[in-house]
Amino acid sequence: MADSDSSRGDEARTYAKAGEIFDALCDAEGAARSVALERWRAAEPEAARLAERMLERDGTQGSLAFLEDARSSAVQDEHDPAGVLGATLGAYRIERLLGRGGMGAVYLGRRSDPDARVALKFVTLSAVPAAALERFHREALLLARIDHPGVVRYRDSGVDAHGRPYLAMDLIDGEPLSAAVPELGRDVQACVRLVVALAEAVHHLHQRGVLHRDLKPSNVLLRRDARGLRPVVIDLGIARALADAQGHQGACESADSITGPLGFGPLGTPAFMSPEQARTGTHPDVRTDVHALGAILYALLTGHPPRGLDQIPSSDPLEFHRRLQESEARPPSQVVDADVFGASLARERRRVVDRDLDAVLLKAVAQDPEERYGSAEALASDLQRWLQGLPVEAHRIGRLGRLRRLVRRRPAESVLVLGLGALLAAGTVAIVGSRAAQVRARVRYEEQLAISRELNRFFTEGLLQRAMPELEGPQMPVIDLLRAASEKVGHEELPPVVAVSIGATLMEVFERLGASDEADAELERISDVALELDPDDRYRLLFELQRAVLLTRRSEWSAAEQGFLSVLRRLEGAGAPELEARAANGLGHVLLSVGRLDEAQPWLERALELFEGELAETRGGQRDGIWEVWGNLAILRWSRGELEGTVAALEELLSVFEAQFGERSPFGLGILSNLASVELDRLRPEKALVHARRSVDIADAVFEADHPDRLSALNQLASCLSFLGDFDEAIALRREVYAGRLERLGPNNSAVGVALNNLASTLARAGRHAEGREAAERGLDVLLGTLGDANPATASAYLTLAVIEQALGEGEGARALFVDAIEVYEAAEGDHSAAIEEARVHLESLETPGR
């Protein structure tokens, strides 16, 4: 013991001495250093030897590399920056250096069996933490599935001897776009066609969830084929993946630049950057790539990227930043550079680049992403229109603008009507209807007209004016007002049809306000009266319609479906377009909710046809109704994967609602929630979060805690938070949603199953697998029992459980569940390709252990 203590003491002394020598030698140079070393060798032989060997290791990237912070940089050999020449990595032998840049180097690799040449891209900075590597490989796996002639084909990925990731991709025989400028320069149309092809390739990427983030002329190679020059996008998402792997945020700019001198500005300048990429706290989305596509065409046409960013000296980053952040680009026709193209060509070009093309480009590179094209595809098609000599969209006022104007024209009417549209819907039943029907039942029509006047008076004068907070009158909670109305209906001697009509409406309104018990009581109160009416009586049908609406809101899908169908069958030829439209919309909604998209579509179209046709000129609740149909049609598009169109439709709808009711109206709640969902689907969580927070704020202000619409809003918010990694709050919200729905809807309800699945999925993301498993199993049971095994919600529950089983090490179980998930997704209608892809990636990782 004493022996080892004393030997440790000696070692410590040697280490300390070696440290002194080390410092001294570091400070000395040349001859002085040799002299000092000689002296130390004589005086302290052991310590001097240690110091010398430590010096050999000084600054090397060896065994510690994987722990090193990326801040330190390795010493690089100019001809072999990654230090891999001649090495064999996986299936590839590294033959020569093709190009290099700030953080990356590209080598030519050869694969022997089958014989193929690839480009291998390396990171040349220090090593990478394993977690980042894993992320990198996952991204590489996704990239490897992208197969499009306009996108470089990724083949493989791996790590080199220093733990640094590399990617293997097809070698493209072509030159960078930047080098081809002189040739393209003569032909504006050719430039536009080229960018159309480029935009189509980029759109393909976007549809597969990949953002490029760093599009610029040096990242586009031109391959010559029979049809001329074809662009091929390289370095997709890789810059970012590599930068992330390095722990460098926002360092994407320097991660590539493998090509020769560019037509525009020095290598590696961020001249093609979008304004939002220079801001902190904003995340790039598809419109960032849209900006880059516009910037590329802008540069091809004018000789410079937008805002003249290539002309700011790199010594002046503040000016660069200011111009990027504050200025809009000038119309390209005004900035064609005669120094680049020569005077006569520049003149010609200023003529060919007309106002339309100016408009398209300015829209594409707008400072505010909101003002740009919503997708690369939209940019491509507008450029296509320009090529064909058609008017471009960039000029046109959208449907939104037209709707806004419509609302401005008819403000007074809409406030009341839309305020509680459902209330008035009952009152308008009698006054709409085709002329034929009116003739067939003239007497009855007169009678109903009288009733409807009475109803309108009852609601608008007696109740509604006081219910609308904007209007003058005592501040009485709506619910109390309605309770009073309900009392009145219960006690007053009213003709059966009036009682049924008011009761049916109250039923719906109570339900909408979250007062399920009162809605049930109302249902109870009037069903006897209603069911005594003739089966074809409008008010009987109205009652049944409202009952089906109520069932829909409680997610009792099959009962609701039966209800709507039965109403629709009896309405055939009855000349009651309002009822028919509402029932068709209701049925469409139910079918959508259970994933029967193809069946839902004709019903929704029928409803729209009625609202836009026979009902277009009638006053009353149809305005409310038509927006519901638009909302449902938007959901239909969404279910089929048309995210872009869905967002546009929902935003339009929202803006119309807000124009009517202000920004804090509960009527926009569902739209906000749906918008949040779609934005999440589009991988834009920040945007989604804004919508979700707003809808929860509104719901908190308007509804009681357990109101179903509030719970839906909470659920949406939880999804956003979970996506963004804020698990604690997300889980708390998930639990609240689950508890609320369980209380209100009972255990065997699909909405409860969905809540369980969501809870499980968030728990899993937070690493709480054991808890997650329990919730996932229960959720799956409920969903199988309620929605069956051809439904996307059920498939999602399989997927959740599978991920959890995988995490808990139950590989076999997980495998089977992933397969189930894929099967169920495939059996369900709609576009579930992203989810299926996710499941496949998981499956693959199970099948190649070690990956």
* Catalytic residue IDs: 214
- Considering the complex, state which of residue 56 and residue 534 has its C-beta at the smaller distance from another protein: 56
Q: Of 155 and 512, which CB lies nearer to another protein in the complex structure?
A: 155
Indicate the residue among 57 and 117 with the shorter CB distance to another protein. Answer: 57
Distance between CA 851 and CA 843 in Å, rounded? 11
CA–CA distance from 132 to each of 66, 164, 165, 182 (Å)?
A: 11, 10, 10, 41
d(CA 691, CA 721) in angstroms, rounded, equals 12
Among 124, 157, 333, 593, binds another protein (CB under 8 A): 157
Write out 572-601 in H/E/C secondary structure. Answer: CCCCCHHHHHHHHHHHHHHHHHCCCHHHHH
807 binds another protein (CB under 8 A): yes
Per-residue binding string, another protein, 50-89, x by CB under 8 A, is ---xxxxxxxx-xxx-xx-x-----------------xxx
- Footprint of another protein on 569-608 (CB under 8 A): none
Rounded CA Rg of the chain: 34
Closer residue to another protein, CB minimum distance, 64 or 390: 64
- CA distances from residue 27 to 31, 40, 74 in whole angstroms, order as listed: 12, 15, 21
CA-CA distance, 712 to 692, in Å (whole number)?
10
> Of the candidates 99, 102, 149, 158, which one interacts with another protein according to CB under 8 A?
158
Question: Of residues 24, 28, 85, 766, which one binds another protein by CB under 8 A?
Answer: 766
Q: Cα separation of 734 and 717, whole Å?
A: 9
* Binding string, residues 239-268; x marks residues near another protein by CB under 8 A: --------x---------------------
Contact between residue 243 and residue 270 where contact means Cβ atoms under 8 Å apart? no
Q: Which is nearer to another protein, 671 or 763 (CB)?
A: 763
**Residue whose C-alpha is closest to residue 81's, from 118, 120, 117, 125:** 125
Instruction: Characterize the bridge pairing of strands 165-170 and 116-123.
Output: antiparallel
Q: Which range, of 38-46, 151-159, 219-227, 553-561, touches another protein by CB under 8 A?
A: 151-159
CB atoms within 10 A of CB 318: 8
Is 126 one of the binding residues for another protein (CB under 8 A)? no
The tokens 């937008």 sit on which residue? Answer: 306
CB of 28 to another protein, least distance (A): 15
Nearer residue to another protein within complex by CB, 483 or 840: 840
Residue 131 CB, nearest approach to another protein (Å) = 5
- Walk across the sheet containing 116-123 and list its strands: 88-89, 92-100, 104-111, 116-123, 165-170, 154-159
Q: Which of residues 190-249 bind another protein (CB under 8 A)?
A: 247
Interface stretch with another protein, choices 204-212, 630-638, 731-739, 805-813 (CB under 8 A): 805-813
Please, are residues 668 and 702 in contact by the beta-carbon 8 Å criterion?
Answer: no
Are residues 570 and 604 in contact, defined by beta-carbon separation less than 8 angstroms? no
Q: Can you tell me which of 114, 389, 474, 767 binds another protein, judged by CB under 8 A?
A: 767
The half-sphere exposure of 603 on its side-chain side, counting CA atoms within 13 A, is 25
Closer by beta carbon to another protein, 55 or else 407: 55
Minimum distance of another protein from residue 33's CB (angstroms): 16
Q: Side chain identity at 9, as an amino acid letter?
A: G
d(CA 109, CA 400): 54
Shortest separation between residue 26's beta carbon and another protein, angstroms: 8
Number of residues that bind another protein (CB under 8 A): 58
d(CA 402, CA 46): 88
Q: For residue 317, what are its two tokens? A: 């980053």
Residues 829-848, interacting with another protein (CB under 8 A): 845
- Segment 698 to 737, residues that bind another protein, using CB under 8 A: 725, 727
Q: How far is the CB of 120 from another protein (least distance, A)?
A: 10
**4 belongs to the binding site for another protein (CB under 8 A):** no
- The verdict on 788 binding another protein (CB under 8 A) reads no
Secondary structure of the chain: what % helix, strand, coil (to 5)?
A: 65, 5, 30
Q: Which of 8, 117, 145, 453 binds another protein (CB under 8 A)?
A: 8
Q: Taking contact as CB under 8 A, which single stretch among the options 20-28, 218-226, 387-395, 715-723 is the one that binds another protein?
A: 20-28
Indicate the residue among 5 and 528 with the shorter CB distance to another protein.
Answer: 5
Q: Is 19 in the site for another protein (CB under 8 A)?
A: yes
* Location of structure tokens 């377009």: 577
Q: How far is the CB of 811 from another protein (least distance, A)?
A: 11
Q: Looking at beta carbons only, is 247 or 268 nearer to another protein?
A: 247
Which candidate, 732, 666, 658, 654, places its Cα nearest to that of 701?
666
Residue selected from 99, 149, 163, 462 as contacting another protein according to rule CB under 8 A: 163
The residue with tokens 């179980």 is 813
Minimum distance, C-beta of residue 47 to another protein, in the bound complex (Å): 12
φ/ψ (deg, to 5) at 537: -60, 135
Taking the C-alpha atoms of residue 598 and residue 636, their distance in angstroms, rounded to an integer, is 9
Q: How far is the CB of 780 from another protein (least distance, A)?
A: 20
Of the pair 834, 846, the CB lying nearest another protein is at 846
Tokens 């704020």 locate to 697
- Could you list the residues that contact another protein (CB under 8 A)? 8, 11-12, 15-16, 18-19, 22-23, 26, 53-60, 62-64, 66-67, 69, 87-91, 129-135, 137, 156-161, 163, 247, 725, 727, 764-767, 769, 806-807, 809, 845, 850-851
